[in-house]
Amino acid sequence: MPTPANPKRRVGVLLVNLGTPDSPRTPDVRRYLNEFLTDGRVIDMPAAVRYPLFQGLVVPLRAPKSAKIYQQLWDTERGSPLLYHGLDLQKLVQEQLGDEYVVAFGMRYQNPSIEKGLEELRDAAVDRIIVLPLFPQYAAASTGSVQEKVMDIVSKWWIVPSISFISNFTDDPSFIGTFVTLGKAEMAKHDYDHVLFSYHGIPERHVLKGSFKGYCQLGKCCNTYNKNNRYCYRAQCFETSRLLAKGLGLRDDQYTVAFQSRLQSRLRDPWLQPYSDEVLKEFPKKGIHNVLAFSPAFVADCLETTIEVGVEFKELFEESGGKHWQLVPSLNSHPQWVEGVVNMIRQN
Ligand SMILES: C=CC1=C(C)c2cc3[nH]c(cc4nc(cc5[nH]c(cc1n2)c(C)c5CCC(=O)O)C(CCC(=O)O)=C4C)c(C)c3C=C
Ligand SMILES: [Fe+2]
Ligand SMILES: [Fe+2]
């Protein structure tokens, strides 16, 4: 309800990304991983197994190694790229939307928290709230987790606000268009034999658990994007890739879709395949020596893009006989993307 002091109706917008540690020091990375990897939507094991296994064993072993990688990524002045690009986006989107909207930013894990963002919107007396998780493709482990957290928080408020979620933007013209702009800029600087679209992986089980009436079975079911696989992460990754390829003018044999960042565990559960690291090692044997890599599951530079694709995959490719590897930067706060986010919000 509008307050007498501010009779104008205003819409609240909460932009959310995954999360990042407060600093690249091991204790902060441990705290972040403990929150992340005990989320039942990320590690879908019974809580009685998940907490002792991850807090007691996996996270203590992983945190010092992850901390070293975060130290490589950290900007001395601005900190974690995922955080500062998110804050830049918030500022620019707010400027374009004007004072009919109040734009907040939150992280699913660690800071600034989703709770703080929602409280900012409540304190601004907004009329309704639009939540935009900054994940192009819907996954229960990313978007679903943000939705659960938001609903959990507001369900405990005395006055529960009207809320809507933008659950994915797999095929949004500005999301696709900005990546095409960035990709074409790289293509103008160098000749490439092949393009790799590398997406964050998820366990195959997660896709099967969300399969609508058993439609998605990790096969050709994902070759078209339709009402039966609307929420299938794999189908969405293929759809994003087809649209990017079209925008870049690529034939089907000029690009490969693959999945990265699998969490190696002794359980050896299969993740979405093919695995990016295995695919890229084979490229030189197929005569592919110049590769342009995109990370279209992320809208901002982060550990998984800058370090995993930009540094680690490049080294692996060169060790395997490849000549030139280039990562296309993420959308960050590119003006075309800012305008796209503004349009998505206005259309909601
Ligand atoms: C694109 C959306 C994401 C999905 C889906 C996702 C699933 C998922 N992730 C893990 C495990 C890890 N992910 C890590 C980092 C990370 N993940 C995403 C996004 C998605 N994850 C982002 C944006 C980032 C980068 C954060 C940053 O600060 O730069 C990490 C931490 C890094 C590390 O220690 O290697 C882990 C661990 C699982 C298990 C999973 C699905 C089940
Ligand atoms: Fe992840
Ligand atoms: Fe599918």
The pLDDT tens digits of the residues spanning 93-105 come to 999 999 999 999 9
Q: CB neighbours (10 Å) of residue 265?
A: 11
Q: Is residue 212 domain-shared with residue 298, that is, in the same domain?
A: yes
Same domain, 287 and 241: yes
Domain that holds residue 89: 11-169+335-347
**Do 57 and 202 lie in a common domain?**
no
Q: Could you tell me if 150 and 200 lie in one domain?
A: no
Residue 8 binned pLDDT confidence (cut-offs 50, 70, 90) = confident
Describe the strand order of the beta sheet including 324-327 as a list of residue ranges. Answer: 255-260, 194-200, 290-294, 324-327
Residues with CB in 5 Å of ion ligand 3:
216, 221-222, 229, 232, 234-235
Q: Can you tell me the distance from the alpha carbon of 146 to that of 109, in angstroms, rounded to the nearest whole number?
A: 9
- Asked which of 125-129, 201-205, 265-269 is least confident by mean pLDDT, the reply is 265-269
Q: How far out from the chain centre does Cα 23 lie?
A: 20
Residue 1 pLDDT > 70: no
| Across 107-116, 208-217, 325-334, least confident range | 208-217
Counting from 1 in the atom list of ligand 1, the atom nearest the Cα of 29 is 34
Which ligand 1 atom lies nearest to the CA of residue 65?
34
Q: How high is the pLDDT of residue 137?
A: 98
What integer best gives the mean pLDDT of the chain?
A: 96
Residues 267, 215, single domain; the answer is yes
Residue 102, SS3 per DSSP: strand
What CATH number is associated with residue 152? 3.40.50.1400
What pLDDT, in 10s, does the model give residues 38-94?
999 999 999 999 999 999 999 999 999 999 999 999 999 999 999 999 999 999 999
Q: Is residue 2 part of a domain?
A: no
Ligand 1 mean position, distance from CA 19 (Å): 9
| Mutation choice for ligand 1 from 32, 167, 261, CB with most ligand atoms inside 8 A | 261
* Contact partners, residue 264, CB within 8 Å, separation at least 6: none
The tokens 């229960």 sit on which residue?
A: 140
**Whole-model pTM?**
0.96
Distances (CA, A) of 179 to 18, 25, 142, 317: 20, 32, 21, 23
Q: Are residues 87 and 203 in the same domain?
A: no
Residue 17: inside a domain: yes
Total tally of structural domains belonging to the chain: 2
Domain shared by 136 and 246, yes or no: no
- For residues 149 and 243, membership in a common domain is answered with no
| 140-166: pLDDT as tens digits | 999 999 999 999 999 999 999 999 999
Q: What is the C-alpha to C-alpha distance for residues 62 and 112, in angstroms, rounded to an integer?
A: 23
Identify whether residues 297 and 179 lie together within a single domain.
yes
CA distance 123 to 222: 43
Whether residues 191 and 298 fall in one domain: yes
Which atom of ligand 1 has the smallest separation from the CA of 43? 42
Residue 213 CA to ligand 3 centre (angstroms): 11
Q: Does any domain span residue 32? A: yes
C-alpha closest to that of 308 among 66, 111, 107: 66
Instruction: Please report which residue ranges of the chain form alpha helices under DSSP H.
Output: 26-36, 47-53, 59-73, 81-97, 114-123, 143-154, 173-187, 204-209, 233-248, 276-282, 314-319, 335-347
Q: What is the pLDDT of residues 122-143, one digit of tens each?
A: 999 999 999 999 999 999 999 9
Q: Kindly provide the residue ranges of all beta strands, DSSP E only, lying in 201-338, ordered along the sequence.
A: 255-260, 290-294, 324-327
Task: Confirm whether 203 is domain-assigned.
Answer: yes
Compute the distance between CA of residue 29 and CA of residue 25 in angstroms, rounded to an integer: 6
pLDDT at 263 over 70: yes
Q: Is residue 87 part of a domain?
A: yes
Nearest CA to ligand 1 atom 16: 304
CA of 54 to the centre of ligand 2 (A): 15
282 assigned binding-site residue: no
Same domain, 321 and 235: yes
Whether residues 165 and 237 share a domain: the answer is no
Is the pLDDT at 3 greater than 70? The verdict is no
Asked if residue 6 is part of any domain, the answer here is no
Q: Is 115 a member of any domain? A: yes
Give CA–CA dist 62/60, Å, rounded.
6
Residue 4 belongs to some domain of the structure: no
